[in-house]
Chains A and B, each alone.
Chain A
Amino acid sequence: MSGSGSGSGSSMTSYPPPGLPPPSAPPPSGSSELAPRARTRGSHPLVVTLDKKSAPRAVFSGDQLVEVDLPAGTRVIYPRPPLDALKDVDAAIRYALNHPMGSDPLHAKLRPGMKVVIAIDDISLPLPPMRRPDVRERVLTVVLEMLADHGVEDVEMIIATSIHRRMTADEVRHVVGDRIFKAYWPDRLYNHDAEDPKGMKLVGTTDHGEVVSLNRKAVESDLLVYVNLNLVPMDGGHKSVAVGLCGYESLRAHHNPHVMRNCHSYMDPTTSALATSVERMGRLVEKALDVFHIETTVNNRMFDRPLEFLHKNEDDWTGTERASFKALSFTLSKLPQGARQAIFQKVPSPYGVTGVFAGECDAVHERALDRCYAQYAVPVQGQADIVVAGIPYISPYNVNSFLNPLLVQVMAQGYLFNLYRGAPLVRKGGTMIVFHPCTDQFDKEHHAPYIEFVHDVLPQTRDAMVMHTQFEEKFARNPAYVEMYRKGHAYHPAHPFYMWYWGEAGRQHLGRVIVVGADNDYVPKLLGYETARTFREALMMASDGKRDPEITMMHVPPICMADVTL
């Protein structure tokens, strides 16, 4: 196990050195060209209150962009400008490995003849995929060099997919780079298989009865190195190993509606029952295995130059930007869906790496979380009656495929609802208005079990508890779907259930969800949503006789989250 390392707890344990602005600090001056103009009241420059002269807001509705006229008085929460990227990422990686937190340096743990397994976060992070070289390739390059220099030859790399779909060869190549791919794929670089009868090994059971069973190769290694990419605060930490390399038996401990109802929110580990359970399991892992964690963080530069204006307050758009938006939304409205998907998903994002931290799990993750919150957290005072958000074309679960109806639900009540700390952005019993076509379309390979879930399970019940007790296990053990997960590129059959549970906290809190722009009625009905033809109609439905309801819009993507104080 990692002991007291040379850099434990000191200020010299990471690169760049600490001293970051707190989450509530104003955006860095170096990025001021992207900062929205503060108009009237608001707890922060990124919380903009609209007036009668405000321009319409640009909102994603799946893979289309629409303009929405919001009433005067509406608060719009904008993402922070991208944090400055590290100038020399490779140096930062070397610094982190040689000056780890709470652990010996990586080189001090190596000896010739030892077995090393490197686990790598899968392509569900970041979104969209990162422009090459992916930061994981950079980390792996340095780590593999170090292993070779110390005579370590028995090295295997596992994509820590848990029960996500297996990554394709091209996707793996994108993440690890050509050189590593050619040298290791597929014999020494491969996807985790949580259903391989001989491939999993019991690590133990927590005092809460949570079964920890992980990838056998990782468990039997002399050293496990985890290469993470933290996109949002729910990533990384103990979740990396305890979830990324586990299987259905372990996931059941926390991916269930009982636990999900006690998460306030997923993005705040201190108030998330899910994070608490994962942490218990992770601590068991850390006792049993020698794990060296490497966490990386990226900024939120999701859109490159031509689309960069989508970060900005619409009132601050230049004439060119306004024309670009009009041209883009018009073009998208005329293109077939496949072409729209290609436009958005085939273009990787120019994320900048903002931090590299290595060493012991908790110490490393604390620093990574700081960077995440510094990028995403926007202070917001008070809750709203109505929260408005566009649902974009992408989620962690549809990289290179279509955002199907179940994932629409995940984005609305799962991710968007949970992008808060403190208190939910919307009051208990309040309304969420979302924009999405809710098209009844699925990727027949990646989301094969989702189809049966949406069209067979959902019509029978939307009650997560009933699903959990009466449907989940049988469905999750479906041999055909399990085979598709193991040998094809399908999500595990338990995954659609987890996607439904993901929305459980939001479902329990929200009074109603109204979807604008749906191209059918039956999908929203299956999800328990109401439909409105226009935003104005949705607003009238949501107001429900109440005069001047408080309305707040989350202007995503890029990602932002609200630090709500009451």
Chain B
Amino acid sequence: MAASFFDVDGTLVRTNLLHPTVFYLANQNNPLASLGALARAAAGGPRMALAEMLDRRRFNELLFAAYAGMSNDRLRLLADEAFDSVLKRAIYPGAKDLVTRCRDQGHQVVFVSGALDFLMDKLVAHFGATGHISNRLEIKDNYATGKLLRPIVAGPEKARLVREWAKAHGEDLGECFAYSDSYSDVPLLSVVGHPCVVNPDLRLSKLARTYDWPVIHLGKRPAFAELLERIP
């Protein structure tokens, strides 16, 4: 048996963590509250951009602070709509075929994502995957505090969590597969025996070529991919 670990944003769906967050902010109890939430998030934009460049974990913390004050009931109530409006329509063509093929091979399919657990539940159900390793909001008295519960799923931490998951489920990582589009997931790709790069940017493409990792394009193949492929 083996497992296939999939990063989600940019790998299976073309959206990133911002898109569902904006959806939630724009769907507050009333339009005024939505406007305020969006304005606060926009004001924090520069800090988030800086954090994205320096520390992916810190970026997640800043982003999910925008959920502070939302009720747990509302978060889950809106999950269906957020999935249908934001995630489902952003799924790359061919993504479902790829996941299905992994399932057909008897793989356990685990989504490893910095996105929030209640959204990942929907995505896992849609793809027929086994489960997910994702971020969870801290909830106190039925309201989100804006903090994330530890461990925060991002960057190198993904690799550690996958190792733990494999150990707990008796999987030999040498037999497992991992799929990601992001250079920040190189640790995740490096812990499995069969790493695969999906929709990579130029930096990750070059690394994949160096290590002879398979490269697949579920979205539109960028022009640099054609050029790189012709270089011996």
Contact = CB atoms under 8 A, between A and B. Distances in A.
A452 to B, nearest CB: 7
B101 A482 contact: yes
Contacts of A441: 232
A178 to B, nearest CB: 21
Contact of A480 (B94, B177, B209, B229): B177
A484 B209 contact: no
A441 B54 CA distance: 36
A457 to B, nearest CB: 13
B216 A480 contact: yes
B108 to A, nearest CB: 13
A550 to B, nearest CB: 40
B98 interface: yes
Contacts of B4: 479
A444 B228 CA distance: 9
Interface string A268-301: 0000000000000000000000000000000000
Nearest to B208: A444
Contacts of A442: 212
B196 interface: yes
A482 B102 CA distance: 11
Contacts of A481: 214
Contacts of A487: 94, 216-218
Interface in B73-92: none
A487 B212 CA distance: 18
Interface string A422-464: 0000000000000000000111110011011001000000000
A341 B212 CA distance: 21
Contacts of B107: 479
Contacts of B229: 443-445, 489
A536 interface: no
Interface size class on chain B is 20 to 34
A478 to B, nearest CB: 7
B98 to A, nearest CB: 6
Nearest to B212: A451
Contacts of B97: 197
B14 interface: no
B98 A483 contact: yes
Interface residues of A, number: 28
A64 to B, nearest CB: 15
Contacts of B110: none
B57 interface: no
A197 B96 CA distance: 12
Contact of A483 (B105, B212, B216, B232): B216
A197 B98 CA distance: 11
B196 to A, nearest CB: 4
Contact of A488 (B98, B100, B212, B217): B217
A477 B98 CA distance: 12
A402 B229 CA distance: 12
Interface in A18-54: none
B194 interface: yes
A337 interface: yes
B232 A484 contact: no
Contacts of A488: 215-217
A477 B97 CA distance: 13
A484 B105 contact: no
Interface in B186-232: 194, 196, 209, 212, 214-218, 229, 232
Interface of B: 4, 94, 97-98, 100-102, 105, 107, 177, 179, 194, 196, 209, 212, 214-218, 229, 232
Given A441-B232, A488-B215, 9 more contacts: A197-B100, A477-B101, A479-B98, A479-B101, A479-B105, A483-B94, A484-B216, A487-B217, A490-B214
